Amino acid sequence: MAIKSYPIGIHPDEHKSFSMKEGLLELPCPERVIVPLSQHIGRPAVPVVQTGETVKVGTLLASAADGVSAAVHSSLSGKITKIGSFSHPVLGAAPAVEITADGTDQQESLITRDAMTLSRDELLAIIRDAGIVGLGGAGFPTQIKLQPPRENTIDAFILNAVECEPYLTCDHTLMKNHAKQLVVATELIMKILGAKRGYIAVEANKMDAVGLFKEHLIGRRVQRLYADQSRLSIEILKVQYPHGAEKQLIKTVFGREVGPGKLPKDVGCIVDNVGTAFAVYEAATAGKPLYERIITVSGSGVARPCNVKARIGTLFSHVVDCCGGMQGDVKKIIMGGPLMGITQPGLDVPVIKGTTGILLFTEKETRFFERRPCIRCGRCLDVCPMFLSPTDIARFSEANDMERLRSYYPEDCIECGNCSYICPSRIPLVQLIRLGKQKVCKQADMAKND
């Protein structure tokens, strides 16, 4: 099978084998969870419960607000002890619901149904009610993504099984355990979108998952579930970062470029992460809301790196304790991957829907670098997947040269971090570009208000 590849990218040390040694670990029930009302892009969910109420696993805690928003469910059976401000891994602090366990671990009743017989509208309602958002990290409410405006015809759906960030293996673990369900989920999403083509995009370092996908695809072909045999195919991508970035993935797999300020739907394509697809499967077949996910716990600062199934709202400290606790002198805590993850001030933050991993880095992974002058070697241009000139954007951003800054399009940057990764002078390029982006946006806003 031909291996596809985007023309530009980097290949850092993968460090994926650490967390793949053991299978999937089910975490023991935590004593309490903190479920933030904002785990998605858009407006926070509106609480429908009150302090003192008892809830079961899967009880609706807060329903979606108007516009872009998503519902939030309980992940623990117990009593609501507080609704207020708690620390949040992305927002710093945000409103959340605290639940203290009663030890019974009662669940809201689940059902069994044949999801393939459900209509598009029924499926969308199920996805909305289950509070499903993009689990790759961005957290965009899925039912909104799957209902593009009528003028956008969707030709293709891509299941993002790339997982290009080093260290992270949560998607890989999910694929190894649930390849069959993911194939069904892909078909369900294609049905919702009316997409004629489906692609499962996997990086070449997960060939075992490719094998499983193939097996199930063949199985379903034998059962004559396809009208057209070429509808759903597997695409193998070279191991390269950022292959899983939406725009790069669409270009690599589908050959279309999502222009500046445009969304995938504008080129007739929708991309969803495997975690999201699995949540869609569980909601559609069993009516299970999104209250747990697989996360990778890795880095040299954790005693037993592995993948765990964690309830949303579980504190990082509980997750790490269940993985043998910290080891060595941990210098940095990261939620997400090493290239785009967010550092945390401590372990008292909750797992949210977009938590792909918890990385604990010790001294050897957090070297301090002295910034040196730019020698204009141009390596940042060679690795920028958006074909930008990071060194120039950073320079003009730092110098506040707004006119020239704008002419280099900082707003196109997807913040993958390749430029900062490669820079031999260790200039914080992506950080300066972020700053430049904000400056350009602020100026545009001011111009609008005038």
- By CB under 8 A, what part of segment 277-316 binds another protein? 315
330 binds another protein (CB under 8 A): yes
Contact 206, 214 (CB under 8 A): no
Kindly state the smallest distance separating residue 16's Cβ from another protein, in Å.
13
Token pair 């991957």 is at which residue?
Answer: 337
90 binds another protein (CB under 8 A): no
CB-side neighbour CA atoms (13 Å) of 313 = 30
Residue 345 three-state SS: coil
| Residues of this chain, 351-390, that bind another protein according to CB under 8 A | 359, 361, 365-367, 369, 372-378, 381-382, 384-389
List 430, 436, 437, 440, residue binding another protein (CB under 8 A) = 430
Beta bridge partners of 308: 25, 295
List 399, 426, 441, 445, residue binding another protein (CB under 8 A) = 426
Residue 120, H or E segment: helix 120-129
What residues contact residue 70 under an 8 Å CB cut-off, 6+ apart?
39, 40, 42, 45, 64, 128, 131, 132, 133, 141, 142
Contact 355, 316 (CB under 8 A): no
Complex with another protein: residue 121 or 348, whichever CB lies closer: 348
Q: CA 305 from chain center: how many Å?
A: 20
Size of residue set near another protein by CB under 8 A: 78
Complex with another protein: residue 142 or 296, whichever CB lies closer: 296
Q: Print the binding letters for residues 47-86 with another protein: x by CB under 8 A, - otherwise.
A: ---------------------------------------x
List 275, 341, 357, 436, residue binding another protein (CB under 8 A) = 341
Can you say whether residue 306 is alpha, beta or left, with left for phi > 0 and alpha for psi between -120 and 50 degrees? beta
What residues contact residue 211 under an 8 Å CB cut-off, 6+ apart?
none
| Residues of this chain, 153-172, that bind another protein according to CB under 8 A | 166
Kindly state the smallest distance separating residue 405's Cβ from another protein, in Å.
13
Kindly state the smallest distance separating residue 44's Cβ from another protein, in Å.
18
| Residues of this chain, 243-282, that bind another protein according to CB under 8 A | 247, 256-262, 266-267
Complex with another protein: residue 204 or 347, whichever CB lies closer: 347
**Interacting span for another protein (CB under 8 A) from 57-65, 68-76, 219-227, 429-437:** 429-437
422 binds another protein (CB under 8 A): yes
126 binds another protein (CB under 8 A): no
List 90, 340, 394, 405, residue binding another protein (CB under 8 A) = 340
End-to-end CA distance of the chain: 56
Complex with another protein: residue 65 or 414, whichever CB lies closer: 414
Q: For residues 85 and 96, what is the distance between their CA atoms, to the nearest angstrom?
A: 6
Prior bond to 242 cis, omega within 30?
Answer: yes
List 331, 401, 402, 406, residue binding another protein (CB under 8 A) = 331
343 binds another protein (CB under 8 A): yes
Complex with another protein: residue 241 or 278, whichever CB lies closer: 241
Q: 301: which DSSP letter?
A: T
Kindly state the smallest distance separating residue 293's Cβ from another protein, in Å.
21
Q: Strands, DSSP E only, in 336-395? A: 342-344, 357-362
| Residues of this chain, 92-111, that bind another protein according to CB under 8 A | 93
How large is the angle between the packed helices 170-193 and 274-286, nearest 10 degrees?
Answer: 60
Complex with another protein: residue 128 or 247, whichever CB lies closer: 247
List 417, 436, 437, 440, residue binding another protein (CB under 8 A) = 417
List 18, 157, 281, 408, residue binding another protein (CB under 8 A) = 408
Q: For residues 142 and 205, what is the distance between their CA atoms, to the nearest angstrom?
A: 28
List 137, 275, 313, 338, residue binding another protein (CB under 8 A) = 338
CA proximity to 154, closest of 163, 146, 164: 146
Residue 144 three-state SS: helix
Contact 374, 395 (CB under 8 A): yes
Q: Are strands 156-161 and 197-203 parallel, antiparallel or unpaired?
A: parallel
415 binds another protein (CB under 8 A): yes
148 binds another protein (CB under 8 A): no
List 190, 326, 351, 394, residue binding another protein (CB under 8 A) = 326
Complex with another protein: residue 64 or 245, whichever CB lies closer: 245
Contact 24, 177 (CB under 8 A): yes
Kindly state the smallest distance separating residue 3's Cβ from another protein, in Å.
22
For the beta carbon of residue 66, count every other beta carbon within 10 angstroms: 8
Burial label for 449, CB within 10 Å (0-12, 13-18, 19+), is exposed
